Chains A and B, each alone.
Chain A
Amino acid sequence: MSRTVIRVGQEPPALDAFADFFDGRRPVARRAALSLEACPGGRVLAIAPPGRERLLWPLSEIRRVPDQAADDILVLARAGDPLSRLLVRDETARRAILSLCHDLDRRPPVKGAGRLVAWSVAAVASVALIVFLLVPALADRLAVFMPPEGERALGDATYRQIRSALSEDGLEPLPVCTDAAGVAALQALQERIAGQADLPHPLRLEVLDHPMVNAFALPGGRVALFRGLIEEAASPDEVAAVLAHEIGHVAGRDPTRNALRSAGSIGIIGLLLGDFAGGAVVQFLVNRLIEASFSQQAEADADSFAHRTLAEAGIRPSAMADFFDRLRAREGEPSPIVAHFLSHPQMGDRIAAARAADGLLSGPARPALSARQWEDLRGICR
């Protein structure tokens, strides 16, 4: 028998092959004959397993199982039928199907979107509730009950961590400056500012040998200034102002609160981010962001503590403004994002507040240290 076939346009690929069909009921491969047929609704792929009813899969409903390891088997499914699979190994058949079926990679609609949204809201709400309300509230209550030895141990542990983190060679912790005359001057400065202050802990004040222009307070009355800060300051009053601010944190027990808060929140951040990128660094930054938003009030409180204490000690509170003015002139106003990370209220507001606080002085202001003592303090890291 011979036929004459007249083809118009592109030649449709022939399809005359076998493939393994799985019906999704039993793990038995059925060697099915494949053929293409025309139907009223469009062309279909006819799958004929031996001794079974033929299946007709409309070409537009054929989907390919994605992300396969190799191309030598084409794994096909029919949209709406989660179980049946057709494994096509025959190369011409694969080519034909790839060129004929245009919706091979169309994804099924997402099911249960409403439930996903509901749980997203629940997750965000529960995390927000815990990180921003429960953990801070608990930390504030517990910080008061922490015995002094516990706070000191917490502060010491953190101090060690900071010193080794800033270590130059990664072996020795960052050294503490110990020049005798300098330490005596530092002692005098501390006495003058905090002599009368009512603090939950005796102060333990040290200078760290590092060029950073910064200072920090830790749980248990630990306060540290960096050498860079003393070098940057134009007068002992400016160092006194920064010191008074840090002592304000000690008075408010802010460092203990912060430590307890981060113990609670850093685990939750780890939970959310997984280890998608070595986690630790990202976790640290995000935690910094959360903490910063907490401590805006704490910073403002520490500032007003500093203003009062300085005025009582007869030191100009506006020295703080002088210091910040110089920093700002050198580095410019930090952008809001940077300011957030710095965890301090906008500098402009702080400078204005410090200048206004000169009104608290009851008599004429005296320098925080004598010229000689100031000289000694500047040489503390010799």
Chain B
Amino acid sequence: MAFGVLQTEYAGRRGRLFGLALRTSLMTVLTVGLYRFWMKTRLRRFYWSAIRPGGHPLEYVGLPMEKLLGFLIAVVFLAFYIGIVNLVLMFLSFSLLSTNLWAYALSFLGILPVLFYARYRARRYILARTRWRGVRFGLEPGAWGYAWRAMAHWAVTILSLGLLWPRMTFWLEKYRTDRTHFGSMPFVQGGNWKMLYRPFLPLMAAPFLGGAGLVVADQGDHAAGIAIAGLALLLALYGLVHYRVHSLRLLTGTKTVGGLGLRARPRPGRVLRIYLFGYGLAGLSLLVLGLVLGGALSVLIAGMPGIDLSAEDPFATAAALPLWASVILGVVAYFAVFIMWSVLRQVFVTLPLMRHYAETLEITGAHRLAEVEQRERDEFTEAEGFAEALDVGAAI
């Protein structure tokens, strides 16, 4: 280990996460969603404490009650906006254009700046409640500045048919990073946007390959055309992961915090494998669980009077159940699938991803940490209320 270089350990285990996620999701459903503020808090405590740069875990100190308060504040403002704006848009759309597509499009466009605003505010809240070695992170105010920049960058990206995507990635990341602090020490995003074109190449190549497929199909060779188009789709999927992972590497490597530096070495192949196996495993577990529960249930039902499981038509058996029983079964099954899927996804996808990103992260120049001082607490009453209300907050 080089002098002043801190490796990051990862201490999260699947079993414990499974228990925590399952218990808190159940509580969330049982409380009609109210417990979700507690669930988020507790899961974040888990995920944060699993990441240990230099052996010392991060700490998440956000509180459920402040999230609830922030959510209530957001509801007061957003209820008016969403209710009235949607109604008027629906009216105008059908009155003037006889379709609801415009209403949906306009309503989405109208909420878009609020989404970016909410995202930035949520990030500010989360960083303000994150500590490492007892010292707070922080993000300076600047949500509206972020919102209009994000809108402008998206417009430019779309107008350039996606070619200027790396430019957007870089400048938005720089806006966020340059306002981030660890204690008294500001982060600085170095590098430039052109460096992101290398990782962008595979993704950029995908549409060209797709176009080639179309040409081949147009020439009469349909099978080859479809095969090439399929390859283009796979390339696009891989390209997306490749771009994400490698741009993260580059952007992290060019960040500095005072005399400290960062080094990230995540690998796109590994990330892709985690996604594929993770979702595969989650799906498989859900299926096995469904079969086991289904089997147990049919044994249970077979024990009920007046039910003949040997009937030819399984739907007839289902129809023989009393109405209340099938309603309860339906509701329980719906929530069971919903909960299990979100829990299994965390266990098999989120945790391995976090592990990989954590274990490939290094901090350099750690001997200069002594220069960092604590920063003031960012009270931030509204917490991540807007993001929570608009469902753009991180899943955890």
Contacts and interface: CB of A to CB of B under 8 A. Distances in A.
A145 B56 contact: no
A150 B95 contact: yes
B42 A67 contact: yes
Interface in B42-98: 42-43, 45-47, 49-50, 56-57, 59, 61, 65, 68-69, 72-73, 75-76, 78-80, 82-84, 86-91, 94-96, 98
Interface stretch (A50-58, A115-123, A370-378): A115-123
A347 to B, nearest CB: 18
A263 B45 CA distance: 38
A69 B13 contact: yes
A277 B83 contact: no
B222 interface: no
A162 interface: no
Contacts of A134: 80, 83-84
A278 B340 CA distance: 12
A365 interface: no
Interface string A1-44: 00000000000000000001011111111000000000000000
A30 to B, nearest CB: 10
Contacts of A272: 33, 75
B28 interface: yes
A274 B389 CA distance: 6
A153 B94 contact: yes
A129 B65 CA distance: 25
Interface string B1-21: 000000000011100110010
B298 interface: no
A66 B100 contact: no
B388 interface: yes
B192 interface: no
B308 interface: no
Contacts of B20: 67
A153 to B, nearest CB: 4
A273 B374 CA distance: 37
Given A70-B50, A73-B57, A28 B133 contact: yes
Interface string A124-164: 00110011001100110010011101111110010000000
Contacts of B32: 273, 276
Nearest to A86: B134
A174 B86 CA distance: 29
Contact of A267 (B56, B61, B83): B83
B123 interface: no
The secondary structure that dominates the B interface is helix
Contacts of B84: 130, 134-135, 138, 264
Interface string A278-292: 100100000000000
Nearest to B90: A263
Nearest to A135: B83
A131 B83 contact: yes
A112 B69 CA distance: 10
Interface stretch (B153-161, B211-219, B277-285, B365-373): B365-373
Contact of B82 (A23, A82, A119, A267): A267
A327 interface: no
A111 B61 CA distance: 14
B132 interface: yes
A23 B374 CA distance: 10
A75 B100 contact: no
A259 B93 CA distance: 13
Nearest to B31: A276
B380 interface: no
A26 B29 contact: no
A72 B103 CA distance: 55
Interface in A234-271: 259-261, 263-265, 267-268, 270-271
A136 to B, nearest CB: 10
Contacts of B50: 69-70
B99 A157 contact: yes
Given A68-B57, A157-B99, A268 B82 contact: yes
Given A29-B56, A273-B32, A151 B94 contact: yes
A62 interface: no
B87 A139 contact: yes
A161 to B, nearest CB: 10
A132 to B, nearest CB: 11
Nearest to A273: B33
Contacts of B43: 67
Given A67-B46, A84-B134, A116-B65, A153 B98 contact: yes
Nearest to B35: A276
A98 interface: no
Contact of B100 (A112, A142, A157, A261): A157
A271 B65 contact: no
A264 B183 CA distance: 44
Contacts of A122: 72, 76
Nearest to B16: A69
Given A68-B57, A123-B73, A272-B33, 6 more contacts: A25-B373, A68-B45, A69-B12, A122-B76, A274-B33, A276-B28
6 contacts: A75-B59, A115-B69, A123-B76, A265-B83, A271-B82, A272-B75
Per CB-CB distance, the 5 closest pairs between chain A and chain B, nearest first, are A22-B134, A264-B87, A69-B50, A276-B33, A153-B98
